């Protein structure tokens, strides 16, 4: 029931925010609308959880680390997309390239920061796509550092 209500909150907010932001920001506005509506859904679900689960699911150190990772990622992606747009222009094909480059850079930055800061446990990594590969790569890199 909580999740269903959270999804409805996200859907309604996404429609409303999309109508507003796409008009002014285009495709980037749609992306921000998605981030905003999913954040609203997460907040709604977390607030509606029983207090015992909130304590388990809301470790503040993890939340702070993840927020830091996201802010660093957002800044770097903004910088990369700005530079890429200056280099290749702003037509439709260029926009696809800029979005692709920004997405790849964002994902890699977030993964690298999470591995470097040891933000997620192995069990948490396993829940993510290619998480097992990331765990294996991390173990190999740590072994190399230990040998040196």
Three-state SS across 103-126?
HHHHHHHHHHHHHHCCCCCHHHHH
Query: What average pLDDT does the segment 11-29 reach?
Result: 84
Alpha carbons 146 and 148: distance in angstroms, whole number: 6
Using 50, 70 and 90 to split pLDDT, how confident is the model at 110? Answer: confident
Q: What is the DSSP letter of 128?
A: S
pLDDT band at 55 (very low <50, low <70, confident <90, very high): low
User: Residue 18 to residues 15, 30, 42, 45: CA-CA distances in angstroms?
Assistant: 5, 6, 18, 22
Identify the pLDDT of residue 57.
61
pLDDT, mean over the chain: 82
Rounded to a whole number of angstroms, the distance between the first and last alpha carbons of the chain is 53
Q: What pLDDT, in 10s, does the model give residues 60-107?
A: 677 778 888 888 888 888 888 889 889 988 888 888 888 888 888 888
What is the C-alpha separation between 31 and 18, in angstroms, rounded? 9
Predicted TM-score (pTM) of the model is: 0.57
Range name among 7-11, 51-55, 96-100, 111-115 with the lowest pLDDT average: 51-55
* Residue 137 pLDDT: 87
Distances, alpha carbon 16 to alpha carbons 25, 30, 44, in Å: 14, 11, 17
């Amino acid at each position: 029931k909580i999740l269903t209500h959270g999804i409805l909150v996200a859907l309604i907010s996404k429609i409303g925010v999309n109508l507003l932001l796409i008009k002014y920001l285009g495709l980037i506005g749609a992306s921000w609308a998605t981030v905003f509506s999913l954040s609203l859904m997460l907040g709604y679900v977390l607030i509606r959880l029983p207090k015992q689960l909130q304590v388990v699911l809301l470790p503040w150190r993890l939340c702070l680390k993840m927020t830091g990772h996201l802010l660093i990622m957002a800044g770097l992606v903004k910088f990369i997309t700005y530079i890429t747009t200056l280099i290749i222009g702003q037509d439709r094909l260029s926009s696809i390239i800029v979005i692709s480059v920004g997405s790849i850079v964002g994902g890699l930055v977030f993964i690298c920061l999470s591995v470097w800061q040891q933000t997620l446990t192995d069990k948490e990594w396993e829940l993510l796509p290619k998480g097992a590969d990331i765990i294996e790569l991390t173990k190999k890199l740590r072994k190399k550092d230990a040998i040196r």
